[in-house]
Structure formats: C-alpha cells, structure tokens
Amino acid sequence: MTDEHEALRRSLRRFVETEINPFADAWEEQGAFPAHELFRKAGKAGFLGISKPVEFGGLGLDYSYNAIAAEEWGRSHSGGVATALGVQTDMATPALARHGSDELRREFLAPAIAGEQVCCIGVSEEGAGSDVASLKTRAVRDGGDYVITGSKMWITNGAQADWMCMLANTSDGPPHRNKSLIVVPLKTKGVTVGRTLNKLGLRSSDTAQIFFDEVRVPVRHRIGEEGMGFIYQMEQFQEERMYAAAKAVAMLQACIDITVDYTRGRRAFGKPLLDNQTIQHKLAAMQAEVEALRAITWRAVDLHVAGENVTQLASIAKYLAGKLALEIPNACLQFWGGQGYMWEARISRIMRDIRLTAIGGGANEIMLQVIAKNMGLSGR
Ligand SMILES: Cc1cc2nc3c(=O)[nH]c(=O)nc-3n(C[C@H](O)[C@H](O)[C@H](O)COP(=O)(O)OP(=O)(O)OC[C@H]3O[C@@H](n4cnc5c(N)ncnc54)[C@H](O)[C@@H]3O)c2cc1C
C-alpha cells in the first residue's frame, strides 16, 4: 500500500462514517436507500470512477485503488449499500468502460461516474441464473433499433436505476456467440419495473424484476461488437468477483472484531466469555482464514493490475469468500448467544447480508466448476 492508497482509504472511511452509517438502520427499515442522493455525493468525491478513464470523469487509477473502496464499503454498516455501490462501479460499468464507443461512454458512463445516474446489471432471469448462456431475453434488429422482449430477475438497484447494462440474445447462433451487451434506458416505453423483492438480507438495497415488452433501443447502444456479449460479461465478472471477495474480507473481519469486543465485555461463570480458550482458538482460526482470503484476493487484484487473466484466482477468491461467508458469521453469532439472534444485532445483519456471497455473481458450485475447468479437469 502506498501513501496514495492510504489517503484514499481514509477519505472513503470518512464518507462511510458520515454519509452511510448514521442512516443505515433507517434504510434497512425502509427497505431502500436514496441511491441518487448518495451516489451524487459519492460521485462528487470521485468514488464511483476510481479506476475509470479520466476523459469520462474517472480518477484513472489502477484497480488496486478500487479494491480499497470495496473493502471500505464492506466495512460500512449496510451490506445493501455496499452491494449497490459495487453494482454501479464493478458490475454494470466495466464492460462499457472497456468496450463502449466514446459516444456511449459520454452518454452513460460519465453520468454513472458522476453519480448523476444510477445503473444496474441485467444478466439473471427467472429461468437462467447460474446457467447464463441459457437466458431467453431477445434483442431483434429492426432498422436502426434493437427491439427487446423478455425479463430480468433479482436486479440490484432495479427500482431506482436510470439504465441497465443488459445481456440479451441478438441472434440464434451458439449460446456463447449469440449475445450482446446493450445499454437500456429504463424510462423507455415498454419497460415495467415489477415489485421490489422482499429479501433475507441486503434489505436497504432495492432488488426488482424488470419486464421488457418490445422495447426499442438504438443499435448504437450496443457495447462493443455484436455477439461478444457473453465474453464481455465473463470479463466483467472478474471485477465483480474481486469486488465481492474484497468486500467479504471486510465484512468477515468485522464479524471477528465485533465478536472479540462482545465476548470481552460479556461475563459468564465469573469471567469474560473471551477468557475461554475454545472461543479464543475458534476466533484465531477464523482470523487465519480471513488472512488467507485477504492474501488471495490481493494477489488476484495485483495480477489484474499487471494485465494478466485472473479468471482462476478471482474465482478462487470468490469461492473462498462464499465458503467463509457461510461459516464465519454463523460461528461468531454463536458467541453472542441470544443477543446475536436479535434482528437488530450487527452480527445478525452481517450474517444475513453476506449470505448472498455464496449465491450471487456465480454460486460457490459455479466457482468450483470454473476452477475445475481452468485446472483442465472438465470441458464445461
Ligand atoms: C439479492 C440478490 C441480488 C442479485 N442481483 C443481481 C443483479 O443485480 N443482476 C443480475 O443479473 N443478477 C442478480 N442476482 C442473481 C444472482 O446472480 C443469481 O441468483 C445467481 O447467479 C444464482 O442463480 P439462480 O438463483 O438462478 O440459481 P440456480 O441457477 O437455480 O441454482 C440454484 C443453486 O443450485 C446450485 N447449482 C447451480 N448450478 C449447479 C451446478 N452446475 N452444479 C452444482 N450445483 C449447482 C447452486 O448452489 C445454486 O445456488 C441477484 C440475486 C439476489 C438474490
């Protein structure tokens, strides 16, 4: 870490402490946070375009600075806001920044970096989550437009977003070659944002199903080449997976830290809970696992910054993050006893929020499939 990394970390931390944490409980309660208002502030501070090109308003820094942001958003008291910010910076915009035309980047990337527009990523469908290639939404060419019909499911920021980076079938060819990424403004005729979905965790982030009925979008809204959408999305998933892993490092570390504090203060049988060696050893073992995850995540980030393909390492980091997300918050909550079972306890919120890490953006089993393929163990 350079002084510049640490300076960025300090300003992100200040932002979290003043602009997110004081409101986190109310946003959880309301089931949404004011995305436009918060993103405008984050954009003004430069946090929504840390590794995006300077000509579109980004800071032009390398991805390691972005990973610092993922860690700091993960330290916030709202997993929902941290996820929504990650969608804006690491899920809906990397392909646009990398492959979009200048015109498209001026129209959609620049306002997303400035926080003037909120965006979302539309890959999953009701019948196609893990099996991305089998998605059904179609974008059929008609003159200078694509006409889009279909629906997208579980879309983070879906109820508030101005536009979606959508993966859709643009031809009948083989499933890995027939898809394109298209920027779809969500105020367009034929778009219906369905009900906001009621979730186990990430309750401050809105998640919606969105329907598209013959929605017309100019062909120039396509990101990069036609038929390359699946490949671009697989590239874009690398940032999503590193973001998820770095955010998980911070959330898991928070689980350990707050459990140390709690068990130090809570007494049973005449002494602090933390004086029991079984609890100390369990926390020490968890710390070792979080350090391993941190090291793998930062190795993936470093190699990504060096321009290497990090499919394998980013998938390993995401897999390990998902695995520890199932284990560590649950094990920590145990030491909070009845207090940990309370809805408002921070440990129970982290447990609910981080649970998605093992499912979203490629479930643990899908990560293992990718890792096995990269090891040459399977063709699929
Ligand atoms: C809160 C939330 C927010 C989300 N945000 C977005 C978003 O913004 N944009 C978006 O596009 N998507 C989003 N998603 C969707 C998410 O990425 C998918 O839920 C995820 O990819 C899993 O797909 P699925 O739910 O269809 O599960 P399925 O594909 O039905 O799989 C169910 C389970 O089966 C197992 N499984 C699947 N395939 C295999 C296999 N080959 N071998 C062994 N086991 C397997 C896994 O355990 C998996 O969890 C979000 C989901 C949630 C819950």
Q: What ranges do the domains of the chain cover?
A: 3-118, 120-226, 230-374
| Mean pLDDT split into 10-residue runs, the chain, 380 residues | 96 98 97 97 98 98 98 98 98 98 98 98 97 97 98 98 98 95 98 94 97 98 98 95 98 98 98 98 98 98 97 98 98 98 97 98 97 90
* 80 close to ligand 1 (CB < 6 Angstrom): no
Amino acid type, 335: F
* 320 close to ligand 1 (CB < 6 Angstrom): no
- From the list 52, 116, 133, 99, the residue with the least C-alpha distance to 221 is 99
Query: Is 331 in contact with 285 (CB distance < 8 Å)?
Result: no
| Helices 311-334 + 277-305 axis angle, to 10 | 160
CA–CA dist 33, 194 (Å, integer): 18
Which of 85, 118, 120, 124 has most ligand 1 atoms within 8 Å of its beta carbon, as the pocket-test mutant? 124
- Separation of 362 CA from ligand 1 center, angstroms? 6
Res 276: pLDDT = 98
Active-site residue, 240 included: yes
**Which entry of 71, 226, 239, 240 is annotated as an active-site residue?**
240
> E-strand spans in 227-318?
267-268, 271-272
- From the list 146, 2, 157, the residue with the least C-alpha distance to 80 is 157
Query: For the domain bounded by 120-226, which CATH number is listed?
Result: 2.40.110.10
- Separation of 358 CA from ligand 1 center, angstroms? 9
* 79 close to ligand 1 (CB < 6 Angstrom): no
CA–CA dist 325, 293 (Å, integer): 11
Residue in the block written with tokens 């036609």: 226
Architecture label for domain 3-118: Orthogonal Bundle (1.10)
* 207 close to ligand 1 (CB < 6 Angstrom): yes
> Per residue in 315-346, pLDDT tens?
999 999 999 999 999 999 999 999 999 999 99
pTM of the shown model:
0.97
- Separation of 126 CA from ligand 1 center, angstroms? 10
* 297 close to ligand 1 (CB < 6 Angstrom): no
Burial label for 28, CB within 10 Å (0-12, 13-18, 19+), is buried
- From the list 204, 181, 73, 170, the residue with the least C-alpha distance to 121 is 181
Q: Which two tokens stand for residue 131?
A: 């099996």
* Fold observed for domain 230-374: Butyryl-CoA Dehydrogenase, subunit A; domain 3 (1.20.140)
